């Protein structure tokens, strides 16, 4: 029997606030263990949380970037559970009234609905020492603000899950909400997965795979879990609802615990933080600070005539897309500018390990270079050399071209003189050409180019050489 996979995701994204969500400890990644901890984030009795309003602003930005409704009223709740990574023994989250709801993200195949986005605090980190057989706790991450983005069960394959996660990560980066560094855990994903016979409308029993921190792991874990559940059903056994851990090294999921239901967490309203009100005016003011989002940028680039792959490549890096937009202001030829970025600039950036943010070449100078190559001021080959020197010296393209004698001579009388000289010096080749051997043409071209040096304009030489030989 064929089975259909049904997937819902919960994406945890750390917010780019400087301090933690309920205290003033630094929220920065890393640091020596347990040095960014205070009575508030370690849950000392009598300490009271103080809400960091900056976290709400970023959560609203995330909601807007992911097409959500922003709720004017939201409130915090306590989620009670006992685990060594959580010294308070409860997590402050938004269970009953989240800050955002009813959003969506378009992927290439469909629209994936977002049920809600809520704010919560991150837990600490446990470090398991397999040799000494002990576990150590680092509470630096305790209280770092997170948003949790919860989808509807609209995803049907590993590919869709990966595409959705990548699209969310990109939108959050554009919005300045989260740096989405999956390898550092600032964006991680829980996958809820079940399977049902193809054509069925009734979802099977789901399992939850926790804390996947790369697109590759998401894909592999989904494919493994699909096969595991299918094998169980085919043997006539049941899938047990439980929480699973994915091991990237062994490529299998193992059971962490049987799945809790909401009532296991004994949610109740957080008594120490007042509910949060955000006015429509405040929401509009935040919306006005958002840049153009990747999806609409891609549509705009396609309308400019860029190929789908090129548009996708440009929007994948906001700094690069910004550079492209700025360069167009200097030379409005989208295809030419995009091609020069993708073929030449990206290659050089990759070679030197330069990121688009670190790029010091001015977009206006880059635009000038594209124009010079297009209008024949310099040859295509020379343009590549000029770009290399621009990256190294930040000089203007025209100055580099002039200093290196790269400005092409479009003066045909100079070319004619040179061609005449070459033809006179190579009577045998001319004879062969007239006798039908066209392969000597390349030889004569080469000779003329060499005589004229870097300023040779191949198109003009070819034209004049042809005219003279055909006489």
Give residues in contact with Zn ion (CB under 5 A).
23, 25, 38, 40-41
Q: Tell me the closest approach of the beta carbon of residue 37 to Zn ion, in angstroms.
A: 6
**Rounded CA gap, 464 and 470, in Å?**
10
Residue among 38 and 233 whose Cβ is closer to Zn ion? 38
Q: Are 370 and 341 in contact (CB under 8 A)?
A: no
Q: Which H helix or E strand runs over 230?
A: helix 215-234
Q: Tell me the closest approach of the beta carbon of residue 29 to Zn ion, in angstroms.
A: 15
- What order do you get walking across the sheet with 268-269 strand by strand? 90-93, 77-80, 268-269
Q: Tell me the closest approach of the beta carbon of residue 165 to Zn ion, in angstroms.
A: 30
- What order do you get walking across the sheet with 207-212 strand by strand? 69-70, 100-106, 111-121, 145-151, 3-14, 187-197, 207-212, 242-247, 252-258
Q: Tell me the closest approach of the beta carbon of residue 26 to Zn ion, in angstroms.
A: 9
Q: Tell me the closest approach of the beta carbon of residue 139 to Zn ion, in angstroms.
A: 9
Residue among 25 and 161 whose Cβ is closer to Zn ion? 25
Q: Which H helix or E strand runs over 397?
A: helix 397-403
Residue among 21 and 369 whose Cβ is closer to Zn ion? 21
Q: What is the three-class DSSP state of 420?
A: helix
Residue among 50 and 240 whose Cβ is closer to Zn ion? 50
**Rounded CA gap, 101 and 114, in Å?**
7
Q: Tell me the closest approach of the beta carbon of residue 121 to Zn ion, in angstroms.
A: 10
Q: What is the three-class DSSP state of 115?
A: strand
Residue among 40 and 118 whose Cβ is closer to Zn ion? 40
Q: What is the three-class DSSP state of 317?
A: coil
Residue 169 DSSP one-character state: H
Residue among 63 and 145 whose Cβ is closer to Zn ion? 145
Q: Which residue has the tokens 């929007």?
A: 315
**Rounded CA gap, 50 and 186, in Å?**
23
Q: Tell me the closest approach of the beta carbon of residue 265 to Zn ion, in angstroms.
A: 23
Note the Cα 166 to chain centre separation in Å: 6
Residue among 91 and 229 whose Cβ is closer to Zn ion? 91
CB atoms within 10 A of CB 226: 19
Q: Are 54 and 159 in contact (CB under 8 A)?
A: no
Token pair in block for residue 418 = 């040179």
Q: Are 46 and 261 in contact (CB under 8 A)?
A: no
Q: Tell me the closest approach of the beta carbon of residue 52 to Zn ion, in angstroms.
A: 11
Torsion of CA 329, 335, 337, 339, to 10 degrees: 160
Q: Tell me the closest approach of the beta carbon of residue 266 to Zn ion, in angstroms.
A: 25
Q: Tell me the closest approach of the beta carbon of residue 40 to Zn ion, in angstroms.
A: 5
Q: Are 93 and 269 in contact (CB under 8 A)?
A: no
Q: Tell me the closest approach of the beta carbon of residue 28 to Zn ion, in angstroms.
A: 13
Residue among 23 and 311 whose Cβ is closer to Zn ion? 23
Residue among 41 and 99 whose Cβ is closer to Zn ion? 41
Residue among 26 and 80 whose Cβ is closer to Zn ion? 26
**Rounded CA gap, 278 and 293, in Å?**
23
CA 378, 382, 383 angle in degrees (round to 5)? Answer: 75
Residue among 30 and 305 whose Cβ is closer to Zn ion? 30
Residue among 38 and 252 whose Cβ is closer to Zn ion? 38
Q: Tell me the closest approach of the beta carbon of residue 138 to Zn ion, in angstroms.
A: 14
Sign of CA pseudo-dihedral 456, 457, 460, 461: positive
Question: Which CA distances in Å does 371 have to 194, 251, 375, 398, 406?
Answer: 55, 52, 6, 11, 15
Burial class, 176, CB count within 10 angstroms (exposed 0-12 / middle 13-18 / buried 19+): middle
């Amino acid at each position: 029997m064929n089975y259909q996979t049904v997937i819902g995701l919960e994406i945890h994204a750390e917010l780019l606030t400087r301090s933690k969500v309920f205290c003033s400890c630094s929220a920065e990644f890393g640091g020596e263990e347990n040095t960014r901890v205070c009575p508030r984030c370690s849950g000392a009795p009598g300490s009271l949380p103080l809400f960091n309003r900056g976290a709400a602003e970023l959560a609203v930005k995330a909601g807007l970037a992911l097409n959500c409704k922003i709720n004017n009223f939201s409130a915090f709740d306590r989620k009670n559970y006992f685990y060594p990574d959580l010294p308070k023994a409860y997590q402050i989250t938004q269970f009953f009234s989240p800050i955002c709801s009813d959003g969506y993200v378009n992927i290439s195949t469909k629209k994936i609905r977002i049920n809600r986005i809520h704010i919560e605090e991150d837990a600490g980190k446990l470090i398991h020492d397999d040799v000494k057989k002990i576990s150590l706790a680092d509470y630096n991450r305790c209280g770092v603000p997170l948003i949790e983005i919860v989808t509807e069960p609209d995803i049907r394959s590993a590919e869709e899950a990966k595409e959705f996660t990548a699209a969310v990560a990109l939108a959050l980066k554009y919005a300045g909400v989260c740096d989405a560094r999956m390898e550092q855990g600032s964006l991680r994903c829980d996958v809820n997965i079940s399977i049902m016979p193809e054509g069925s409308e009734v979802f099977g029993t789901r399992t939850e795979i926790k804390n996947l921190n790369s697109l590759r792991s998401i894909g592999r874990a989904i494919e493994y879990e699909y096969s595991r559940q299918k094998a169980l059903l085919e043997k006539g056994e049941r899938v047990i609802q439980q929480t699973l851990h994915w091991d990237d090294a062994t490529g299998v999921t193992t059971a962490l615990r049987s799945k809790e239901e909401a009532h296991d967490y004994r949610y109740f309203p957080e008594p120490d933080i007042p509910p949060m009100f955000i006015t429509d005016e405040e929401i509009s003011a935040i919306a006005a600070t958002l840049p153009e989002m990747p999806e609409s940028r891609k549509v705009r680039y396609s309308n400019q005539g860029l190929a789908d792959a090129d548009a996708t490549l440009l929007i994948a890096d906001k700094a690069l897309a910004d550079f492209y937009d700025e360069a167009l202001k200097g030379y409005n030829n989208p295809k030419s500018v995009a091609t020069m970025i993708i073929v030449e600039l990206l290659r050089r950036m990759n070679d030197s390990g330069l990121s688009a943010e670190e790029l010091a070449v001015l977009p206006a100078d880059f635009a000038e270079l594209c124009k010079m190559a297009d209008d024949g001021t310099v040859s295509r080959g020379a343009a590549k050399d000029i770009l290399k020197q621009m990256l190294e010296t930040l000089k203007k393209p025209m100055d580099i071209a002039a200093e290196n004698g790269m400005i092409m001579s479009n003066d045909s009388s100079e070319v004619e003189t040179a061609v005449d000289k070459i033809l006179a010096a190579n009577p045998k080749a001319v004879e062969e050409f007239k006798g039908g051997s066209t392969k000597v043409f390349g030889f004569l071209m080469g000779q003329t180019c060499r005589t004229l040096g870097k300023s040779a304009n191949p198109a003009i030489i070819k034209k004049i050489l042809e005219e003279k030989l055909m006489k």
